[in-house]
Amino acid sequence: MGGGTNPAALEPMNKENINPDPGRAEAGDARLGALLRASRASPALPPRFQEGVWRRIEEAAVPVKVTGGITWLDALVALVLRPRFALATATVLIVAGALLGVHNGNQMAHQDAQARYLAAVAPHSLR
């Protein structure tokens, strides 16, 4: 177990250099690139392709015009959906739903009470 270094460990495993001359490698890459570009088939564009592209860009830039103008419902929706009023709108809708539920429950309780009273007073009248 000597402390000497092995001279074979310092030599490269493969003595063959893959790219011996960087200038030649770049020239080969350029030739390969030119060959690949030449072999790539570029499809012909349809007629008036660029005109169609620019027309679509211009149409997208123009805001959509509403023919009927803004209605009261559109204005209300725009107002209600603003972040400032969104929480108030949600709260109003929840309270309105709760009140309608309580009202409907009271009506059903009233009808049940009427049916029980009628059944207690005249049990055979409903048959």
Reported as a single tens digit per residue, the pLDDT across 66-99 is 666 778 888 888 888 888 888 888 999 999 999 9
pLDDT in the model for residue 127: 55
Does some domain include residue 113? yes
The pLDDT value given to residue 62: 72
- Please tell me the pTM assigned to this model: 0.38
Query: Looking at residue 65, what is its pLDDT?
Result: 67
Identify the pLDDT of residue 101.
Answer: 97
Alpha-carbon separation of residue 39 from 7, 25, 42, 123 (angstroms): 49, 21, 9, 98
Judge whether 58 lies within some domain.
no
116 within domain boundaries: yes
- Residue 104, amino acid: N
Q: Which domain holds residue 107?
A: 83-127
The answer on pLDDT for 16 being more than 70 is no
Residue 69 maps to a domain:
no
- Per-residue pLDDT, averaged over 11-20, amounts to 62
Does residue 62 lie within any of the structural domains? Answer: no
The overall average pLDDT reported for the chain is 81
Q: Is residue 15 part of a domain?
A: no
Number of domains in the chain: 1
Q: pLDDT, tens digit, for every residue of 90-119?
A: 999 999 999 999 999 999 999 999 999 998
Structural domain includes residue 71: no
Residue 2 counted as domain residue: no
Question: CB of 105 within 8 A of CB of 112?
Answer: no
Cβ neighbours of residue 85 under 8 Å, at least 6 residues apart?
79
Q: How many CB atoms lie within 10 A of CB 89?
A: 13
Apex 99 CA angle, 97 and 101, nearest 5: 70
